[in-house]
């Protein structure tokens, strides 16, 4: 069937209340290609999102062409954003996807403003720009082209193997602007992966995408996160994961323990009760007072990961201090008046370092490894007993 034939009248009495309030809703679509998923096409009023921070970098910029995500990752921290539309953070987040169909056109207008400082822009830090719907809507090529044409550095975090479609565009963009890529691959047990990330490509397919990106001359890190206590933190699982990352050619690996913020915790615990009831008591105690795993657990995890990272010749990558995506190489560089890239002076404000659309030699480079202390090998001991 034709996609257009699947449109649902927006004045339908069953229209979702939050979406019904939108004056920019174009149409609502369901199609057999995406069984169980409803797409709400809207006209975006803006494309660039300014993200404020308490870190040394005062703000960052992101683009989210979609709201909601059919990858349906149980632990996704972005779930609560759906409640702004009077949708729930559980099944609605997975099955009610908002599509900003004009996002590339709006972005071009915003990037053309004299006030735009060509600050690094991150994609994939909220919902995935390469979820399955991107195969239909094809929003990303226009976004990439607009950013490259304006001289704006970009970074990308995704679980979607559809990234391979745009590697040519990204490689061309990397000739003039920094382009930093990262593939999110947290689960290397196929059965567990399909249970907790039911809408995602397999880890094998995502690792093949890392390899394809590296063969295209692009840096591509792996986000091995979240690491799930008692499920994916065994030495066997982590060693296998890091071995596969190294074999795929990952530029670096970033990792952290599971983070359960309000609005996500309930959905995750419901999944845990259904699939791993013997772990409910432990998780309840671990996350009783904070969204973060206990410091003792995080310390234990770092001590386990450090030696394994070195064994496989991998360096630990850096997150963007504001957006949480892969750190853009542009945060450590700037373009001078002569168009040449230079290392940003220590202590300077990257938000005031503009990029020139005519910058030369701006081939992307991998972000440097963090300068903090390296972890020394430790015995293969179990996690701390406090939980």
Domains and CATH numbers, the chain: 23-352 (3.20.20.70)
User: Sheet containing 7-8: which strands, arranged edge to edge?
Assistant: 7-8, 25-30, 38-42, 96-100, 66-67
Residue-by-residue DSSP string for 81-145: GGGGGT--TTHHHHHEEEEETTHHHHHHHHHTSTT-----EEESSSS-TTSTTHHHH--HHHHHH
pLDDT at 72: 94
Q: For residue 323, give both structure tokens.
A: 């957006």
pLDDT at 86: 85
The residue among 320, 322, 261, 324 whose CA lies nearest residue 53 is 322
Over residues 229-240, mean pLDDT: 98
- Whether cis (ω within 30° of 0) applies to the bond prior to 226 is yes
> Residue 385 above 50 pLDDT?
no
pLDDT at 126: 87
> Residue 227 above 50 pLDDT?
yes
CA dihedral 370, 374, 377, 383 (to 10 degrees): -70
CA separation (Å) from 147 to 61, 169, 173, 354, 361? 12, 11, 8, 14, 17
pLDDT at 377: 30
Q: For residue 162, give both structure tokens.
A: 């559809």
Helices (H) then strands (E): counts for the chain:
12, 14
Q: Phi-psi bin for 124: left (phi > 0), alpha (psi -120 to 50), beta?
A: left
Give the model's confidence band at 3: pLDDT under 50 very low, under 70 low, under 90 confident, else very high.
Answer: very low
- The residue with greater pLDDT, 321 or 201, is 201
pLDDT at 379: 35
Per-residue pLDDT tens over the stretch 285-306: 999 999 999 999 999 999 999 9
DSSP state at residue 315? -
Structure-token match 């560089």, residue found: 333
Which three-class secondary structure state does DSSP give residue 241?
helix
Over residues 273-279, mean pLDDT: 98
Q: What is the pTM of this model?
A: 0.83
| d(C-alpha 356, C-alpha 232), whole Å | 44
Give the model's confidence band at 14: pLDDT under 50 very low, under 70 low, under 90 confident, else very high.
Answer: very low
Q: For residue 274, give both structure tokens.
A: 């259904």
pLDDT at 154: 96
| d(C-alpha 157, C-alpha 124), whole Å | 5
| d(C-alpha 301, C-alpha 287), whole Å | 16
| d(C-alpha 207, C-alpha 185), whole Å | 8
Q: What angle do CA 212, 218, 180 make, to 5 degrees?
A: 120
Cβ 113 vs Cβ 152: under 8 Å: no
Give the model's confidence band at 356: pLDDT under 50 very low, under 70 low, under 90 confident, else very high.
Answer: very low
> Residue 208 above 80 pLDDT?
yes
> Which residues 6+ apart lie within 8 Å of 43 measured at CB?
24, 26, 100, 101, 102
DSSP state at residue 360? B
104: number of CA atoms within 13 Å, CB side?
14
- The residue with greater pLDDT, 386 or 33, is 33
pLDDT at 333: 58
Over residues 294-320, mean pLDDT: 96
Give the model's confidence band at 387: pLDDT under 50 very low, under 70 low, under 90 confident, else very high.
Answer: very low
> Which residues 6+ apart lie within 8 Å of 203 measured at CB?
185, 187, 188, 190, 193, 244
CA dihedral 136, 138, 140, 144 (to 10 degrees): 160
pLDDT at 355: 43
Over residues 236-245, mean pLDDT: 98
Per-residue pLDDT tens over the stretch 131-156: 999 999 999 999 999 999 999 999 99
CA separation (Å) from 264 to 10, 78, 91, 196, 256? 29, 8, 12, 13, 17
């Amino acid at each position: 069937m034709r996609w257009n034939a699947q449109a649902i009248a927006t004045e339908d009495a069953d229209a979702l209340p939050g979406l019904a309030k939108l004056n920019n809703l174009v149409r609502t679509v369901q199609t057999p290609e995406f069984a169980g998923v409803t797409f709400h096409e809207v006209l975006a009023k803006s494309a660039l999102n300014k993200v404020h921070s308490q870190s040394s970098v005062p703000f960052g910029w992101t683009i989210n062409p979609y709201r909601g995500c059919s990858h349906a990752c149980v632990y996704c921290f972005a779930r609560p954003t759906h409640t702004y539309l009077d949708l729930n953070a559980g099944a609605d987040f997975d099955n009610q996807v908002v599509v900003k169909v004009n996002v590339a056109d709006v972005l071009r207008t915003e990037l053309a403003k004299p006030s735009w400082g060509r600050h690094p822009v991150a994609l994939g830090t909220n919902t995935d720009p390469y979820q399955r719907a991107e195969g239909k809507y094809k929003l990303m090529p226009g976004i990439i082209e607009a950013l490259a044409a304006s001289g704006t550095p970009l970074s990308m975090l995704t679980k979607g193997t559809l990234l391979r479609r745009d590697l040519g565009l990204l490689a061309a963009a990397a000739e003039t602007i920094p382009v930093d890529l990262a593939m999110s691959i947290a689960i290397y047990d196929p059965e567990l992966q399909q249970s907790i990330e039911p809408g995602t490509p397999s880890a094998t397919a995502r690792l093949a995408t890392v390899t394809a990106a590296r063969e295209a001359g692009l840096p591509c890190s792996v986000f091995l996160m979240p690491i799930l206590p008692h499920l994916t933190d065994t030495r066997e699982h982590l060693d296998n994961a890091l071995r596969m990352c190294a074999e795929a050619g990952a530029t670096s690996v970033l990792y952290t323990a599971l983070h359960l913020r309000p609005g996500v915790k309930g959905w995750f615990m419901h999944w845990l009760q259904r699939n791993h009831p013997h772990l409910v008591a432990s998780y309840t105690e671990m996350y009783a007072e904070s969204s973060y795993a206990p410091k003792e657990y995080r310390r234990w995890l770092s001590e386990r990961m450090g030696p394994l990272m070195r064994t496989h010749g991998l360096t630990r990558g850096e997150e963007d201090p504001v957006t949480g995506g892969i750190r853009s190489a542009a945060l450590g560089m700037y373009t001078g008046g002569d168009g040449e890239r230079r290392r940003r002076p220590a202590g300077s404000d990257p938000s005031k370092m503009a990029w020139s659309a005519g910058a030369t030699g701006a081939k992307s480079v991998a972000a440097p490894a963090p300068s903090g202390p390296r972890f020394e090998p430790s015995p293969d001991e179990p996690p701390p007993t406090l939980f």
